[in-house]
Chains A and B, each alone.
Chain A
Amino acid sequence: KNEVEQSPQNLTAQEGEFITINCSYSVGISALHWLQQHPGGGIVSLFMLSSGKKKHGRLIATINIQEKHSSLHITASHPRDSAVYICAVKGSNYQLIWGAGTKLIIKP
């Protein structure tokens, strides 16, 4: 079993829909990182959080430390949100353990 599991693996939705991507982990962590990888390959850091909730524009990330679970939400989704969303947790040795990513496609 992977230490970081993301679901779903693939998600296709219509423009405007509310999107939720989930990340569950099985190790103790100091922080959790959400990143976005564009089709061209570039990686953008979206959030780093260790508790509660963070919001940036249409993106919201939440984490529940007790349940070892985090969610990334996108409101009013747009085709430009199409990308791979990656969850990575920072373990006790401060190394990032990567999820496999969720490929999101937003259709116009």
Chain B
Amino acid sequence: DSGVTQTPKHLITATGQRVTLRCSPRSGDLSVYWYQQSLDQGLQFLIQYYNGEERAKGNILERFSAQQFPDLHSELNLSSLELGDSALYFCASSVVVGTSEQFFGPGTRLTVL
């Protein structure tokens, strides 16, 4: 158990809908990262937050947005969902931004029908 929690574990929805994925980092970790892993693909970095502020953006679509709240939990919002958005979404956390090791949550499996 990494100490990072993600909810829900599974999510099935329809095209055009909007969903919110939630992540709680390890106690004491200030940095949160979101990744997308499509079927049989590697991890794609989406976005990173540090202590409530956006730090870096990767291959995140405009239909996706995220935020980190004062209690350090983070939410990833996915809107106007398309079939291709079906994937595993991982959240990771680390103490700080630099060389700190990242610890991964169990992931949320999103299926868009």
Contacts and interface: CB of A to CB of B under 8 A. Distances in A.
A45 B2 contact: yes
Contacts, number: 51
A48 B103 CA distance: 11
B101 A98 contact: no
Interface in B65-113: 88, 90, 92, 97-99, 101-104, 106-107, 109
A96 interface: yes
Contacts of A101: 42
Interface residues of A, number: 22
A86 B42 contact: yes
Interface in B21-60: 33, 37, 42-45, 48, 56, 58
A76 interface: no
A27 interface: no
Given A90-B99, A94-B98, A43 B42 contact: no
Contact of B58 (A45, A90, A95): A95
Given A41-B88, A41-B107, A95-B58, A33 B42 contact: no
A33 B100 CA distance: 10
Interface residues of B, number: 23
Given A33-B101, A50-B99, A94-B97, A43 B90 contact: yes
Contacts of B56: 93-95
A100 B42 CA distance: 5
B3 to A, nearest CB: 11
Interface string A27-57: 0001101010000011111001010000000
Given A41-B109, A42-B107, A33 B102 contact: yes
Interface of B: 2, 33, 37, 42-45, 48, 56, 58, 88, 90, 92, 97-99, 101-104, 106-107, 109
Given A45-B102, A95-B56, 6 more contacts: A30-B99, A41-B109, A43-B107, A95-B58, A98-B42, A100-B42
